[in-house]
Amino acid sequence: GAGVSQTPSNKVTEKGKYVELRCDPISGHTALYWYRQSLGQGPEFLIYFQGTGAADDSGLPNDRFFAVRPEGSVSTLKIQRTERGDSAVYLCASSKGVGTEAFFGQGTRLTVV
């Protein structure tokens, strides 16, 4: 596609439920990044993939958060037992590789009620 695509654009879920957020990177981009942006804050790094493997997952806040990229393209961010504090905009970005510009999607706004 022309840019990084994230679905859904908005997600409302009840506390305790499981959610999946999807990211379709730019075709051919090997690196993929997830960030979380809370209200009034800058984006906060969650995890970075190079190909299929998570090269750095040090930003995942706890074991309720998990991300996969099984074929080195589409990635899914999975959140178990959602909490109200998980409410934020989840941003995905991709790049051709390290050291090259990362292009961001428009994000998924997650609201936990």
Partner 1 sequence: AQSVTQPDIHITVSEGASLELRCNYSYGATPYLFWYVQSPGQGLQLLLKYFSGDTLVQGIKGFEAEFKRSQSSFNLRKPSVHWSDAAEYFCAVGSNTGFQKLVFGTGTRLLVSP
Which residues are near partner 1 by CB under 8 A? 3-4, 31, 33, 35, 40-45, 48, 55-56, 58-59, 91, 93, 95, 98-107
Which of 80/111 has CB closer to partner 1? 111
Which of 33/65 has CB closer to partner 1? 33
Region at 61 (left for phi over 0; alpha for psi -120 to 50; beta for the rest): alpha
Q: How far apart are CA 102 and CA 43, in angstroms?
A: 13
Q: How far apart are CA 7 and CA 107, in angstroms?
A: 8
Q: How far is the CB of 16 from partner 1 (least distance, A)?
A: 30
Which of 64/109 has CB closer to partner 1? 109
Q: How far is the CB of 52 from partner 1 (least distance, A)?
A: 16
Which of 66/103 has CB closer to partner 1? 103
Going through the chain in order, the beta strands assigned E by DSSP cover: 5-7, 10-13, 19-24, 31-37, 44-50, 53-56, 65-68, 75-79, 88-95, 103-104, 108-112
Q: How far is the CB of 112 from partner 1 (least distance, A)?
A: 22
